[in-house]
Amino acid sequence: MRVAILAYDGCMGAEVLGLSDVLLVANRISLLRAPEAPVPFAVSIIGTRAGQVRLAGGAQLSVAAPVPFDLLVVPAFDFNSAEDIGTALAGLDEEKRLIRHAAEQRKIASICGGSLLLAEAGVLDGRQATTAWALAGEMARRYPRVEVIPDALLIRDGEIVTCGAFTAYGDLALQLIRDCAGTSLARAVGRFSLIDHSRRSQAAYLDHRFSHKRKESFARAVSAWFEQRLAQRYRLDALADAFNLSSRTLLRKFHAETGRSPLDLLHDLRVEKAKLLLENTTLSVAQIAGEVGYLDVATFSRLFTRRTQLTPAAFRKRFHSADITVF
């Protein structure tokens, strides 16, 4: 497979070079297994024209002019705030033209926030897509014709593949290896590169506290009110009274801003608090359930598992912070 990775000013260099290097490892292992067989990947790092691009961290990278390819991969770009996203995208018209041209006859993939560049180019309209979990809400607001799946690690919709946050270049690489050279080689590359080939979701990594701090807003104010009362029973009338609104007006106002209900937000915040307790304390699951407002442990466990794709016990096993003694 001929893979072209599109590098441009402000793009995330680790995603460009990381994907290239993992596919190089696949070629090397493939040669060790079958010295006479052709390697599965020919990788090029291209720009809209030959020359130098400045990566997000300031390093310079030489890029080739566009070459024939079977797959075009688009990495994420750097930004400081939601307002910066529009500015960054507005400066990438040539890249958008290349993406639209590629979409007409080739496969396309994106890593992390690269999906916003695909969406801006118009190639994700009417499709399912994912992105970095922290960008999912912003992407959904900007591109209502795209069905954004925030907790998915990788989504394939037709000839377009979108991937989750930053290090998902490794997951994309393993998927490409599985597609082109089989599961055995993908597993070997995953072991060699320390990439978890079993990851299927970003759900365990989501932190909804970030997504509700995008500007001061009504939703942010509701979130702050909930954060002080996570263990209390949910009462819509008490919430409405706190904001001097009727229950119906509060629900309508909150839904207009977020597309969700206040109770859905409360569940998010409770799960985030439970994650922190599972990571940083030795409290039992029952104690944690009580700390975040659930009297029934089974109900809490079902909700937690549905939102993170891990049981509370499995989450603790993966993320619990152990004390480490340094000698």
d(CA 64, CA 67): 8
**Nearest Cα residue to 260 out of 207, 211, 225, 309:** 211
Instruction: State how far the Cα of 222 lies from the Cα of 265, in Å rounded to an integer.
Output: 9
- Reading phi first (left if > 0) and then psi (alpha if -120 to 50, else beta), residue 14 is in alpha
Is the pLDDT confidence value at 212 over 50? no
Distance between CA atoms of residues 86 and 117, nearest Å: 10
Q: pLDDT above 70 covers what percent of the chain?
A: 95
Q: Enumerate residues 6+ apart whose C-beta is below 8 A from 132.
A: 76, 112, 113, 164, 165, 166
Q: Looking at residues 247-264, what average pLDDT do you find?
A: 90
Give this prediction's pTM.
Answer: 0.71
- Statement: residue 211 has pLDDT above 60: no
Give me the domains of the chain, ranges plus CATH numbers.
2-203 (3.40.50.880), 208-319 (1.10.10.60)
Q: 156-207, pLDDT tens digit by residue?
A: 999 999 999 889 999 999 999 999 999 999 999 999 999 987 777 887 777 7
For the stretch 124-165, pLDDT in tens is: 999 999 999 889 888 998 999 999 988 889 999 999 999 998
CA separation for the pair 55, 304 (Å, rounded): 38
